[in-house]
Amino acid sequence: MPVKSTAIIGAGVAGLTLALSLAQKGIASEIFEQADELREVGAGLQLSPNATRVLRELGLLNRLRSLWTEPESIDLRSGETLKTYVSLPVGKVAEDRWSAPYGVVHRATLQRVLLEAVRANSLCRLHLGLRLDMKQPGDILPYCDRKPDLIVGADGVWSRARNLVPGAPQSVFTGNVAWRLVVPFADVPPVLPRNRVTAYMAPGAHLICYPLKDGGGFNMVAITGGVDPGETWGTNGEPKRVSALRSKFSKWHPSLQALLSRHDDLLYWPLCQATDGNWHNGRNVVLIGDAAHAMMPFMAQGAASAIEDAHALARIVSQKPLEAALPAFEALRKPRASKLKARAEFNCRVYHARGLLRLGRDIAMAIRPQASYMADLDWIYGHSA
């Protein structure tokens, strides 16, 4: 019979969204998080219509819209000259075309809104300060109020719940790292558009910038090649690393160089992705979000994919017995996750192109119609979980 109770490992975006999605189906969940309190490191994230459609169904969209920023467009520009290659309208266009808004928000804000909803829901219970190595499914039972029908690994790119799934995906370092910071609005030069998501591109690196109303400044993410620091997020940039980063931007536009040179509080994040593998054990364990399919952020679909996973899983396990639901979930979600991962890898090559490849990219961007770019986003932003 369908699931009645669930144990969720991880209280990030995937885990909290799943708990709320299950509660809508009348399914109780207990969420287990190793941190003593939920503090989201990092900076901003982009929530495209495929994600905000789910958040609207969960009753959270109006709350988020009072806190986030809805950019007018997504622009691709030169990091050296600031020339605009492509400008794709979102704003009102997103709602007209994809029936849901496009917003940018601080990660902590999204997590706070999800957490408030979880704590207000009688079918959700959150356990903090529990680190579970998860060698076997029974390891979680002493901490549960009731025996769960289903265990969900929503514990991120370095998931421990993968131990419960034979042949599960594994995390691999991509060779790229992200440098993150939020620059106060007063320090942002006029050349940075204050109502857009802008990707500045140059050989071997790119820089994403957008305003965060809830963060009090501009979210900036510089992505370059780098060294793997191991299983850690938000490592403060060491002087040698910061110097290496700035050297990679030495030929960029002076205004962008100045932004990076004035700030030393950079967070150094390794960019990892998951290999192909099994998402479930065929009985009572399933992986979602980064635990199943971590991808590079070159399509800004990591959080959106986790939100999609959560909503889809809740629907399927409420309708089918587990032995049918888990394969059905993987069969539904894996092809889309693989396609998004492949697109992110392609965008990495495009954004960081050098030499003749870069010249060809610039020509192709100049002659391709805007309508073609927009149509190419329909399968991503128009998707309904």
Three-class secondary structure of residue 98 per DSSP: helix
**Residue labelled with tokens 């040179």:** 261
Rounded percentage of the chain residues whose pLDDT exceeds 70: 95
What is the rounded average pLDDT of the residues 288-297?
96
How do residues 33-68 score in pLDDT, each as one tens digit?
987 777 766 578 999 999 999 999 999 999 999 999
**Tens-digit pLDDT profile for residues 96-151:** 999 999 999 999 999 999 999 999 999 999 999 888 777 888 888 888 999 999 99
Tell me the pLDDT band of 385, cut-offs 50, 70 and 90.
confident
Across the range 182-208, mean pLDDT stands at: 90
Query: pLDDT tens digits for 228-254?
Result: 776 666 566 566 667 777 788 888 999
When comparing pLDDT for 323 and 245, which is higher? 323
Q: Is 80 exceeded by the pLDDT of residue 90?
A: yes
Confidence of residue 193 (pLDDT cuts 50, 70, 90): confident
* H/E segment holding residue 246: helix 239-248
What is residue 264's predicted lDDT score, i.e. its pLDDT? 67
**Average pLDDT of span 218-225:** 90
pLDDT for the residue numbered 262:
75
Q: What stretches of 227-295 adopt beta strand conformation (E)?
A: 235-236, 267-274, 285-287
Residue of 285, 286, 282, 290 lying closest to 231 (CA atoms): 290
Decide if domain 5-71+101-171+276-349 falls under CATH 3.40.50.720: no
| C-alpha to C-alpha distance for 114 and 14, rounded to whole angstroms | 10
Question: Does residue 6 carry a pLDDT above 70?
Answer: yes
pLDDT at site 339: 97
The most confident of the ranges 134-138, 221-225, 309-313, 352-356 is 309-313
For the beta sheet containing 171-184, the strands, ordered from the edge strand earlier in sequence to the opposite edge, are: 84-89, 73-78, 196-202, 205-212, 217-225, 171-184, 267-274, 235-236
Report the C-alpha gap between 375 and 362 in whole angstroms: 20
CA-closest candidate to residue 207, choices 244, 257, 172: 257
Q: What is the pLDDT of residue 127?
A: 94
Q: Are 169 and 162 in contact (CB under 8 A)?
A: yes
Give the model's pLDDT for residue 94: 94
Element (H, E) at 30: strand 28-32
Give the model confidence (pLDDT) of 28-42 as tens digits: 999 999 877 777 665
Task: Assess whether pLDDT exceeds 80 at residue 304.
Answer: yes
pLDDT: which is higher, 37 or 12:
12
- pLDDT tens digits, 324-337: 999 999 999 999 99
CB burial readout 172-188, b (16+ within 10 A) else e: eebebbbbbbbbeeeeb
Report pLDDT digits (tens) over 344-376.
999 999 999 999 999 999 999 989 999 999 999
Share of the chain above pLDDT 90, in %: 72
Note the pLDDT of residue 340. Answer: 97
Distance CA 268, CA 102 (A): 27
Average pLDDT, the chain: 91
